[in-house]
Amino acid sequence: MHYFSTTAAISAGLLIGSVAAAQDVVWTLEGLEAPESAHFDEARDALYVSNINGEPTAKDGNGYISRVSPNGQMLEAKWVTGLDAPKGLVSDGATLYVSDIDRLVAIDIEAGEISGTWPAEGAIFLNDTALDAAGRVYVSDMIAQKIHVLADGDFSVLAEGDVLQHPNGLSMRDGKLLVAPWGLDLQKDFTTKTGGHLITVDVETGSVAPLGSGDPVGNLDGLEPDGDGNWIVSDWIAGAVYRIADDGNKELLLDLDMGSADLEYIPDQSLLIVPMMLNNTLVAYRIE
């Protein structure tokens, strides 16, 4: 997720973006408002989509969550409201957890209501979320370079520092936290001198290690497993979507506009769902 002005980003995106081939698109849903993250609820056959609806750090109460069908139909545009700038989403089946600038918010899915909030001390830009088998919730702070964890009601810092490379996307696999970082040497325009590469964080010790070669990839955002042992990762600035193997090798899957954000992948449908933040759309692609 980006941090600079949405208006400025749209202007830049018109200059550097390119659109994926039309035949790749399964469906497009318009009318969203700066959609940042999509999360699939298999039990309810629904996607939840976070809408920032304003500036990414504005505590304006404008943010909300939409419910969308997997075939691209809007089910409920403003399912849950009263958020500021919601971004990363993850659920345990009963509760949907949402990062919201400097707090983690819990939503009771059946009730469609906010059921809890946890402020993150010193947080600047909470971003993606992940959940482990023990029910712990992890949240990245891209700007403060921290990863927070909610465990037994305690919201604390698991890891921090430059070693996290401005952490963004999060995902769990085999008890390890995978991180898609934005990169190193963050500039005023929120590009970086060095692109991020996938890293792992030990959830018990907080120790950080590269996944694979450690060669720079880009300004990474969304991070999802592809069901075959690889990772599908978006690059927000370049508008690229990659498949990345554990050895660090990458394959370009899609070349999109700037603003390809926190994507979702449904392996049994080979369906990749990408929130296009600057275009105010949610776009689904068939990925083989």
The DSSP secondary structure of 163-180, one letter per residue, reads GG-SEEEEEEETTEEEEE
User: CB burial class (10 A; 0-12, 13-18, 19+) of residue 19?
Assistant: middle
User: Distance (Å, rounded) from C-alpha 230 to C-alpha 238?
Assistant: 21
How do the domains of the chain map onto residue ranges?
6-33+111-286
Other beta carbons within 10 Å of 233: 30
Q: Provide the whole-model pTM.
A: 0.93
CATH 3.20.20.70 applies to domain 6-33+111-286: no
Has residue 14 got a pLDDT over 50? no
User: Distance (Å, rounded) from C-alpha 224 to C-alpha 217?
Assistant: 16
pLDDT at residue 190, as a whole number: 87
User: CB burial class (10 A; 0-12, 13-18, 19+) of residue 170?
Assistant: buried
Give the model confidence (pLDDT) of 83-92 as tens digits.
Answer: 999 999 999 9
Going by C-beta distance under 8 Å and a sequence separation of 6 or more, which residues neighbour residue 39?
Answer: 47, 48, 49, 89, 90, 91, 96, 264
User: Distance (Å, rounded) from C-alpha 233 to C-alpha 26?
Assistant: 19
The first and second tokens of residue 64, run together, are 């909300």
Q: Are 131 and 116 in contact (CB under 8 A)?
A: no
The first and second tokens of residue 218, run together, are 């880009």
Has residue 256 got a pLDDT over 90? yes
pLDDT at residue 246, as a whole number: 94
Give bridge partners of residue 240 from the DSSP assignment: 235, 255
DSSP 260: B
pLDDT at residue 11, as a whole number: 35
Has residue 21 got a pLDDT over 70? no
Return the higher-pLDDT residue of 3 and 263: 263
H-only helix segments in 24-143: none
